[in-house]
Amino acid sequence: MFKLLHDVLTQEVAADGFEYRAGTDAFGPTGVAFLDEGRWLVANGATDELYLLERLGVSAGVPIAPEAGLMDLCFDLDGRLYGTRWGFKDIVEVEPETGTVLRVVRDGFEGPAAIVLDPVAGELLVSDFSAHRVVAIDPGSGDQTVRADADTIRHPDGIAVASDGRLFVACPWDLRVVCVERDGTVREVAQVDGKPDGIALARDDAPLRGSIVVSLRNGDLATINTAGQLTVIATDGTPADLLTVDRDGYLYVTQIDQVVRIGPGMFQPTSGSSWPMTLG
């Protein structure tokens, strides 16, 4: 749990009891997606396990797929579930109730990390961390378009999609957050010490007023305003990985052995995070 530094924020443990990889680069659960009737999925990138949880406030228990190998999760416009697999260097379609891999959508990646939905084009947006690129994948054909490459971006990790189609990308080893415009132009949003990993967006009409939200490997949670100014809003966490926002606007922060839910519901739902669909 965090020490919250913003009066409006609340927190609760959404799930705990996850195994994790210890050390200087410690991590555990990485990706989250939401089903119907309060059920949700957690991919543990450290152990390759996929969990289907029936509600909030539970322990991880027994995984539905002990060797899924998934890092992050995303639904397409037709409700099909996809995931990145770092170890297999591919993107796969997954059966959400069992974790069974249905097909490989595309392989040949070097380090596929985050995956979100482009709600306009219906494509899957993937950060290839080790290849220094962000790509768009047609979920049907597997065809790929490069949105940003090594000339403009380094070690991309978490991705958030704005309503106008811009991408905000956390680059932990480059210590910055960048924006990828629809035309492929990449600009720096802010330099961020602490290694930004996960990324999400606050709603324009909420107290954080459209800020970018980043989870940091140093255990902090911070916002970046339109002027590029960084404000720490929570501290004393563990090294964090990806961020996901549910259909009700609550932020899920992956920690090394648990997932923490930050409220109130004032964040922009992560595109492709929920089925039935909630677009970002």
Kindly report the CATH number assigned to the domain that includes residue 199. 2.120.10.30
**Do 34 and 246 meet the contact criterion of CB atoms below 8 Å apart?**
yes
- 120: number of Cβ within 10 Å: 13
Predicted model pTM:
0.97
Q: Note whether residue 276 is domain-resident.
A: no
List, for residues 39-48, the tens digit of each pLDDT value. Answer: 999 999 999 9
List, for residues 218-275, the tens digit of each pLDDT value. Answer: 999 999 999 999 999 999 999 989 999 999 999 999 999 999 999 999 999 999 999 9
Q: What percent of the chain has pLDDT over 70?
A: 99
Q: Note whether residue 13 is domain-resident.
A: yes
User: Looking at residues 102-120, what average pLDDT do you find?
Assistant: 97
Q: Note whether residue 270 is domain-resident.
A: no
Q: Can you say how many angstroms the Cα of residue 1 is from the centroid of all Cα atoms in its chain? A: 19
| Residue 149 CB burial class (10 angstroms; 0-12, 13-18, ≥19) | middle
Helix (H, G, I), strand (E, B) or coil at 127: strand
List, for residues 262-272, the tens digit of each pLDDT value. Answer: 999 999 999 99
Alpha carbons within 13 angstroms on the beta-carbon side of residue 133 total: 14
Helix (H, G, I), strand (E, B) or coil at 217: coil
Q: Note whether residue 204 is domain-resident.
A: yes
| Model confidence at 149: pLDDT above 60 | yes
| Model confidence at 21: pLDDT above 90 | no
- Counting the structural domains of the chain, the total is 1
Q: Note whether residue 280 is domain-resident.
A: no
| Model confidence at 4: pLDDT above 80 | yes
User: Which segment of 18-27, 135-144, 262-271 scores lowest on mean pLDDT?
Assistant: 18-27
Pair type for strands 176-180 and 167-171: antiparallel
For residue 136, give every residue at least 6 positions away whose Cβ sits within 8 Å of its Cβ, in sequence order, or none: 118, 121, 123, 124, 125, 126, 144, 145, 146, 147
What secondary structure letter does DSSP report for 238? P
Q: How confident is the model at residue 11 (pLDDT cuts 50, 70, 90)?
A: very high
Give how far Cα 92 sits from Cα of 81, 102, 130, 137, 166, Å: 9, 7, 18, 11, 25
| Model confidence at 176: pLDDT above 80 | yes
Q: Which domain holds residue 32?
A: 3-263
240 or 135, greater pLDDT: 135
Quote the pLDDT of residue 134. 98
For residue 240, give every residue at least 6 positions away whose Cβ sits within 8 Å of its Cβ, in sequence order, or none: 197, 198, 215, 216, 217, 219, 221, 253, 254, 255
| Model confidence at 82: pLDDT above 60 | yes
Quote the pLDDT of residue 92. 98
Looking at every residue in the chain, the average pLDDT score rounds to 95
Q: Note whether residue 93 is domain-resident.
A: yes
Helix (H, G, I), strand (E, B) or coil at 15: strand
Q: Note whether residue 126 is domain-resident.
A: yes
Quote the pLDDT of residue 202. 96
**Do 128 and 134 meet the contact criterion of CB atoms below 8 Å apart?**
yes
Q: Note whether residue 269 is domain-resident.
A: no
What secondary structure letter does DSSP report for 274? B
Q: How confident is the model at residue 168 (pLDDT cuts 50, 70, 90)?
A: very high
User: Looking at residues 62-82, what average pLDDT do you find?
Assistant: 97
User: Looking at residues 16-42, what average pLDDT do you find?
Assistant: 92
Q: Exposure pattern of 163-175 as b/e (b: 16+ CB <10 Å)?
A: eeeebbbbbbebe
Integer Rg of the chain from CA: 17
Quote the pLDDT of residue 278. 54
For residue 6, give every residue at least 6 positions away whose Cβ sits within 8 Å of its Cβ, in sequence order, or none: 207, 208, 233, 234
What CA–CA distance (Å, rounded) separates 127 from 264? Answer: 28
Quote the pLDDT of residue 5. 97
